[in-house]
Amino acid sequence: FSKSNALKRAVLRAITPVATVERVALWADHFEALDQDGDGKVSIHDLARRLVDHGGLSKNEAAQLSVVLAESDEGGDLVSYSAFLAACLSAHVTWDDRQLRSLFNRLDRNQSGMVSFEDVHKALGDVVDVESLQAEFAGRELTYSDFRWLMS
């Protein structure tokens, strides 16, 4: 998840509150069952094994999730709940063209067909890593094609 582009991370953080209660509760249950000392971190290997045994993931899916989690900003063999939740959301959230177009149009406040850093920052506020997003935009605006590619 941490290797995703800044725009995609910001959008995923923004939609985290709308994930279904059942889905988030299931993820939390699996995580908390492993977090015996309550420090908010668990072993990536143990978490992947539990999700295969009890969470409905295939071994291949768990291996892919393990790689994503191991490459997180935290590094090492441990993952925090917030990094785990973000990785799960990035793996489970898919966008069809209609949804992407709708999101792009909401970000494109002046209907110019282009989205600027300022448009994204105004729309997503605190969930944006301003420095990463600014570096990603590099002073240019995004067309819908650029936006769709970054969100895929």
Residue 117 pLDDT > 60, yes or no? Answer: yes
| Tokens representing residue 90 in the block | 């990035």
What single-letter DSSP state applies at residue 112? S
Nearest 5°: the CA angle 67, 146, 69 is 10
Residue burial 81-113, b: 16+ Cβ < 10 Å; e: rest = eebbbbbbbbeeeeeeeeeeeebbeebbeeeee
- List pLDDT tens digits, range 54-102: 876 778 877 777 777 776 655 578 888 777 766 666 655 566 788 788 8
Own/partner pairs, 110-116, CB within 8 angstroms, 24+ separation: 112/141, 113/143, 113/144, 114/141, 114/142, 114/143, 115/141, 115/142, 115/147, 116/141, 116/142
Look at 45 and 4; give whichever has higher pLDDT.
45
Residue 3 pLDDT > 60, yes or no? Answer: no
Residue 115 pLDDT > 60, yes or no? Answer: yes
pLDDT of residue 128: 64
pTM: 0.46
| Tokens representing residue 43 in the block | 């072993």
Residue 12 pLDDT > 60, yes or no? Answer: no
3-state secondary structure of 139: coil
